[in-house]
Amino acid sequence: MKVLILGGVAAGTKAAAKLKREDRSAQVTLITKSADISYAGCGLPYYVGGVIEERGDLIVNTPEKYAALTGVTVYTLREAVALDSEAKTVTAKNLETGEDEVYDYDSLVIATGASASVPPVEGVELSGVFTMRTPDDAIGMRAYLEEKNVKRAVVVGGGFIGLEVAENLKDRGISVTVIDFASQLLPNVLDPEMAGYVKRHLQKNGIRVITGTKAEAILGDNQVSDVRTSAGTLPCEIVVLSAGIRPNTGFLAETGLEMFKGTILTDGGLRTNLPDIYAVGDCAMVKNRLTGAPQWSPMGSSANMEGRTLAQTLAGKEKCYPGVLGTGVVKLPGLNCGRTGLTEAAAREAGFDVETVVAVTDDKAHYYPGSDYFITKLIADKKTRRLLGAQVLGTGAVDKMTDIAVLGISMGAVLEDFDNMDFAYAPPFSTAIHPFVQAVYILENKLGGDLISMTPAEYAAGKAEGYRVIDVGQEPSIRGALHVDLGKVNGPIEGLDKEDKLLLVCNRGKRAYFLQNRLRYFGYTNTVVLEGASYFNEVRVGAPGAAVSPEEITRVKGLGFLFDKRTQDRFNARVITRNGKVTAEENRAITEAAELYGTGEIAMTSRLTVEIQGVPYDNVEPLREHLAKAGLETGGTGSKVRPVVSCKGTTCQYGLIDTFELSEEIHERFYRGYHNVMLPHKFKIAVGGCPNNCVKPDLNDLGVVGQRVPELEAENCRGCKVCQVENACPIKVAKMVDGKLVIDQAQCNHCGRCVGKCPFNALMNYTDGYRVYIGGRWGKKVAHGRYLDRVFTSKEEVLDVIEKAILLFREQGITGERFADTIDRLGFEAVQEQLLSDGLLQRKSENLSAQKHLKGGATC
């Protein structure tokens, strides 16, 4: 039996290897367009981020090793260009010689996969535009990031790969914006309310997300500078196109193969409509395991299973591929996401009588260190009570939750089948009643009428109109809501009529359910529990202008909104600028935001951050969304690196360095790159262009001052009675002593004003550099910083010292103290010694991964 396989990544190599194990006599030939086979396509984003360090780690097998291991004949750099199903031949072009080669077969397996879909927009050919499909894509992107020192990226596409790339770019300290034409992230993967939570989470973690937005053009001269979108122009140095894939089936267009939108239709045996021709992997259309309807599921997992099943079929075994569930899992910054089965919309479209629930549960014993949560959405059929789908968000093992659902759906399980499943339990791993079973119990309660609830989707659509919100949290946390202490409810609640429409909300949902149970017993007839509670939903209560709770004031302060104490609900929003430097388009966006969501007034802070004045609490999120569309963000508060401030730099007559360029680099590397790094207190950085001290670099936690160190050539001094150098020195450090010019370097501030003033060339040469001050502060307690002994002559040295200072403050500072206090406690000489050596950088990973300073000391 001659079996020809087209394609050498997942499905093709799996089919070939398994077939040779099933039937050693089979003549199996594999041809592939690439020089590589069996590469780890799903690992490419992690190579970009540096998690996978070596290119070789992406290659699962070389052609030579694979052929020796399996007995399969492998030809690389062969592109299939024609199929003659009657003659049973495939024509392929040898990409090394350019010649056509003909391969015959008894059975043909098409596993040609898919390629990145490149949107038809202007500028996709520019340097700095990448797709993410092959090892060469990832290798080229990582090299470009390093070579160009990229600081800003735009990812076009909010699917699995796009979000994984965004996370890895962010981990490299790059500012990332994700745009998607769809109205939500992960379309057809998550339901809108679950995708909405993911979007909010990404934004809180420093990744801008703009949905419902189309990329219109990529701009730049030779290399990328901006992306023009339907929501505005986004500056960037790299663009990642991750807007989907298309099957590599163009060469099959006139062959008679039955296809749909480029995918090859197959039956349960993975057969096509043509005799002895099969298709597997990303080029094949299989079926949905639940509905039987055709479904394209281009995933590495299903590709491998399809290849294996087909190999057994070709070897004569009775095998059938049952279809896919669209199972997937993705790692995001501080959040994992898993899903399987039908979405709510797909289940309704398929004709099921759908019921859903959104449940927030512990992911392990709540008292165990590192415990967190799962947000689980279950979709089931009301009549049969059959599980149809699951979507899970959380910081931990969402894959195990998803896999339980996969098993249940595949076995046709109904909800009650999960009730007493004996899942593994120990505090480090799970809860006594497994979190998946807890979610099932909540859905069973809802179906049985024991729980009357409102879904997050219903709440977002306005179904809570007319309901009075009851806060059932352990402490009051919902502005404008009536707080009820659950433990004290032993009868009717004073002030609440039993016919009132009451929406019960707690932090995660359990206390609200308990209160509903009691109130129904006491005769309350219109109580509804909000699923997902305040943990998942953005709960707003009361008329505009109502007082904001202290908890909410703290929360939105972390977003850059400072409470105006003269009001009950208004804030000043800090818009982060590049040292006060904004484009005309960004300025228009800020002005529009001030008019739409604030008082229309804009102020500049002392640190050159724009503040939009008088933003009502209810306008906080709309304002952030408006600014995000222009590539802007709010922030700059908390115990973190603060936005950088600098003087005019080279536009000042005394300027010695380009302060704008340096401050922007510091901003990108440390304000953005260290966005999630908690410190003992705030850490302010100032860049001064000269020793005139305009931005008070010595009154910041760290200051950088431009230097011009004069190089005196004493042998050229003529001992003039009137020394031009002495006259030029503004601080009178240059002096004539015994007929010779002397400059006391210990007192010289390196302003450079003396350079070139001597007519006899005694002072023509100089060295440009940077002086670094540490330990300054102003405010309640003023302290002048002290400069390090070295004058640094390269920008990279300065950036390294800044990073070391931040790392030292995080590692050795005490929560609540300023950097000046840390230096005083440790001693300046001890701190300087560490900043001038490399130990802090060597300990960086361990330092940043430590759970430290989770509650810092910054108060403004």
Active-site amino acid positions: 42
d(CA 571, CA 554): 12
Q: Which helix (H) or strand (E) holds 834?
A: helix 828-835
Other CB atoms within a 10 A radius of the CB of residue 546 amount to: 16
**Coil/strand/helix, residue 569:** coil
> In Å, how far from its chain's centre is CA 612?
26
Which residue in this structure is represented by tokens 């966005």? 675
Query: Do the Cβ atoms of 392 and 376 come closer than 8 Å?
Result: yes
Query: In sequence order, what are the residues at sequence separation of 6 or more whose Cβ sits closer than 8 angstroms to the Cβ of residue 493?
Result: 484, 519
Question: Running DSSP on this structure, what letter comes out for residue 673?
Answer: T
Q: How far is CA 703 from CA 763, 786, 795, in A?
A: 28, 9, 14
Residue 603 bridge partners (DSSP): 611
* Token pair listed for 633: 């963000």
Taking the CB of residue 746, how many other CB atoms lie within 10 A of it? 6
C-beta of residue 28 within 8 angstroms of C-beta of residue 5 = yes
Where does 537-667 have alpha helices with state H?
A: 550-557, 584-597, 620-628, 659-666
DSSP state of 24: T
* Burial class of 688 by CB neighbour count within 10 A (0 to 12, 13 to 18, 19+): buried
- Can you read off the two tokens belonging to residue 571? 């804030």
As a whole number of angstroms, the distance between CA 434 and CA 420 comes to 10
Place of tokens 């005694």: 762
Residue 102's SS3 state is: strand
State the amino acid at position 388 in one-letter form. Answer: L
Sign of CA dihedral 554, 560, 566, 569: negative
Tokens in use for 20? 């040779």
Look-up of token digits 């745009």: 179
Buried b (16+ CB within 10 A) or exposed e, 805-823: bbbbbbbbbeeeebbbbbb
